[in-house]
Amino acid sequence: MKYEVIRSLGQWQGLRGQWNALLADSRAEQLFMTWEWLDCWLRVQRSVTDLRVICVRGPGGELLGVAPFYVANYRLLDILPYRMLRMIGDVDSGAEYQTWIASKSDEGRVCDVIVRAMRELRSEWDLLWIPNLESWSGAHEPMVRALRAGRLGIRSRPRDFSTVALPADYDAFLASMSPNRRQQIRRNTKKILSKPGVDVRKVTTRDELAPALDALFRLHGKRWRSVGQHGVFDRNVKEREFYECFAPEALNRGWLAVYTLFDESEPKAVQIGYVYGRAFLQLQEGFDPDYSPHVGNALRTWVIQDCIRQGLTEYDFLGGHSEHKRRWLAVERTGMDLLAFTPGLRSIPIRIGVWPRGSYLRPVGSKVRSPDAPARAPGLAVTDSQII
């Protein structure tokens, strides 16, 4: 095996033909690692041009693995500079589960070659940061073994995710709930969905997409402002632009799932997700708090029924676990954030607990924000971190 390093957007375009075929032959197969997701992100994040995409190829030039990195400049306490390898598409998009892509038959060797490339590029980076890893399946283990074998330090901390296993029919889904919860869902859903003039529509054409996205952005913002906060689309224009870029691509590929609940043709709730494999990936939602406090849940009920009708087996809430999600029969899965570094004096702050988020270690100029900021708790959270 040999490797090459893609450094320019022009070279990046040359990977398109082989990317998704490799992805389908890997344990990294997720919507958030598709060519379309990453390419849309690069088009939206126009300032991100410093690519370090490590490609592993076989004897015949076939693509066997990829680590899709870019370099972001950070400073510790606004003084000490660090160059951070990050995953393309990792923020301002809703991405989860990002990792290296490696052919299933060659995972170990591919990861070893990627780490060898990282060591040979050592003068060009200081830290590796991969948040929101799906680690419960063990798919991350070849990467971790390769990093250790390459004598790179690794720190991790747990990251919670939440998902619902969908049965074959909706009655079985309801039967798994407590009698009180089951009655509550039926009562509130019937109260809203049985009203004259109320219906739910799923986006199926390009003409329907733009109005649905506009309703999502507006209702999401209205819902959060009603509790004294700002929604992600209000505070982060790049995330809004990414949705506008990727949703048409997803619609063309059959991945998009946007549902709108209307009352007399006026949008009252919107939910956007993507169908990939047999899972519905729930990304964002918005509802009109002046209409009904239950309208968002009524729409979720309709979406779950539609997922079951399609034969999907999972309604994935993605990152975070809460009582609200648990009431929908979601179970918690524990993933991880991973931070890697080489031994030396510059790694001391990293070893003792600094993470690339919050007020201590952050991007220069904040052109690309840190994962989790500002949507989640700021600061230097070191609780439950570990060396692995």
For 246-295, write each residue's pLDDT tens digit: 999 999 999 999 999 999 999 999 999 999 999 999 999 999 999 999 99
Q: What pLDDT does 359 receive?
A: 78
Residue 382 located in a structural domain:
yes
Statement: residue 368 has pLDDT above 90:
no
Residue 198 located in a structural domain:
yes
Residues 340 and 366 in one domain: yes
Q: What pLDDT does 380 receive?
A: 26
Residue 146 located in a structural domain:
yes
Q: What is the mean pLDDT of the chain?
A: 93
Q: Looking at residue 252, which CATH number applies to its domain?
A: 3.40.630.30
Q: What is the domain count for the chain?
A: 2
**Among 312, 345, 363, which residue terminates a domain?**
312
Closest to 115 in 3D by CA, of 156, 90, 152: 152
Residues 151 and 14 in one domain: yes
Residue 325 located in a structural domain:
no
Confidence of residue 365 (pLDDT cuts 50, 70, 90): confident
Q: What pLDDT does 366 receive?
A: 52
Q: What pLDDT does 305 receive?
A: 98
Q: The whole model's pTM is what? A: 0.92
Q: What pLDDT does 346 receive?
A: 87
**Among 278, 312, 346, which residue terminates a domain?**
312
Q: What is the mean pLDDT of residues 311-316?
A: 98
Statement: residue 171 has pLDDT above 80:
yes
Residues 380 and 232 in one domain: no
Contact 160, 325 (CB under 8 A): no
Residues 152 and 173 in one domain: no
Confidence of residue 357 (pLDDT cuts 50, 70, 90): confident
Rounded Cα gap, residues 206 and 358, in angstroms: 39
**Among 259, 279, 312, which residue terminates a domain?**
312
Rounded Cα gap, residues 218 and 355, in angstroms: 33
Query: Can you name the residues that pair with 163 across neighbouring β-strands?
Result: 316, 331
Residue 324 located in a structural domain:
no
Residues 53 and 119 in one domain: yes
Rounded Cα gap, residues 26 and 137, in angstroms: 13
Statement: residue 124 has pLDDT above 80:
yes
CA torsion sign for 59, 63, 64, 70 is positive
Residues 172 and 260 in one domain: yes
Contact 173, 167 (CB under 8 A): yes
What would the pLDDT profile of 210-226 be if each residue is shown by its tens digit?
A: 999 999 999 999 999 99
Q: What pLDDT does 384 receive?
A: 33
Alpha helix positions (H), the chain: 9-13, 16-24, 35-44, 107-120, 141-149, 170-175, 179-193, 206-225, 232-235, 237-253, 295-309, 323-327, 348-351
Residues 254 and 354 in one domain: no
Which residue segment(s) compose the domain that 286 sits in?
Answer: 167-312
Lowest mean pLDDT across 39-43, 250-254, 358-362, 372-376: 372-376
Rounded Cα gap, residues 153 and 159, in angstroms: 19
Residues 153 and 29 in one domain: yes
Residue 330 located in a structural domain:
no
Q: What is the mean pLDDT of residues 37-53?
A: 96
What's the Cα-to-Cα distance from 230 to each of 15, 91, 140, 297, 320, rounded to whole Å? 38, 18, 34, 21, 19
Closest to 344 in 3D by CA, of 80, 132, 47: 80
Q: What is the mean pLDDT of residues 330-350?
A: 94
What 3-state class would DSSP assign to 366? helix
Residues 302 and 186 in one domain: yes
Residues 150 and 247 in one domain: no
Q: What pLDDT does 34 receive?
A: 98
Residues 171 and 275 in one domain: yes
Residues 185 and 146 in one domain: no
Residue 326 located in a structural domain:
no
Q: What is the mean pLDDT of residues 317-341?
A: 97
Residue 342 located in a structural domain:
yes
What 3-state class would DSSP assign to 355? coil
